[in-house]
Amino acid sequence: MKHLSFVLLAFMSFAVNAQDLSKLYKEVSPAVVIIFTSEKEIVTTVGSKSNVVTKDGLGSGFMISDRLIITAAHVVTVPEKINVLFPDGDIIPATVVSSYKTADIALIKLFRPRINPVTVKLGDSDSLKIGERIFVIGAPYGQGASLSSGYVSGIRKQGTGKNPFSNTEFIQTDAAINTGNSGGPMFNLKGEVVGIVSFITSQSGGFDGIGYATTSNLATKLLLNDKMPWLGADMHTLTTEECKLLNVPQAHALLVQRVVESSIFGKMGIKGGDVEGVINNQKLILGGDIILGYNDITFDLSDEALNKLADFTNSINDNPKFTVTVYRDGKIITLKSK
In the prediction, which pLDDT does 54 show? Answer: 75
The C-alpha atoms of residue 249 and residue 244 are separated, in whole angstroms, by 8
| Among 29, 60, 74, 125, the one annotated catalytic | 74
Q: Is pLDDT at 168 greater than 90 in this prediction?
A: no
Q: Is 182 designated active site?
A: yes
| Among 29, 60, 99, 104, the one annotated catalytic | 104
In the prediction, which pLDDT does 7 show? Answer: 45
Q: Is pLDDT at 15 greater than 50 in this prediction?
A: no
Q: Is pLDDT at 241 greater than 80 in this prediction?
A: yes
Tell me the pTM. 0.89
The backbone torsions φ and ψ at residue 312, rounded to the nearest 5 degrees and listed phi first, read: -65, -50
| Among 99, 146, 149, 182, the one annotated catalytic | 182
In the prediction, which pLDDT does 319 show? Answer: 65
Q: Is 104 designated active site?
A: yes
Q: Is pLDDT at 14 greater than 50 in this prediction?
A: no
Per-residue pLDDT reduced to its tens digit, 105-140 = 999 999 999 999 999 999 999 999 999 999 999 998
In the prediction, which pLDDT does 206 show? Answer: 61
What average pLDDT does this structure show over 237-243? Answer: 94
The backbone torsions φ and ψ at residue 20, rounded to the nearest 5 degrees and listed phi first, read: -60, -45
The backbone torsions φ and ψ at residue 165, rounded to the nearest 5 degrees and listed phi first, read: -80, -15
In the prediction, which pLDDT does 227 show? Answer: 76
The top-scoring range by mean pLDDT among 4-8, 114-118, 165-169 is 114-118
Task: Decide which of 227 and 102 is more confident.
Answer: 102
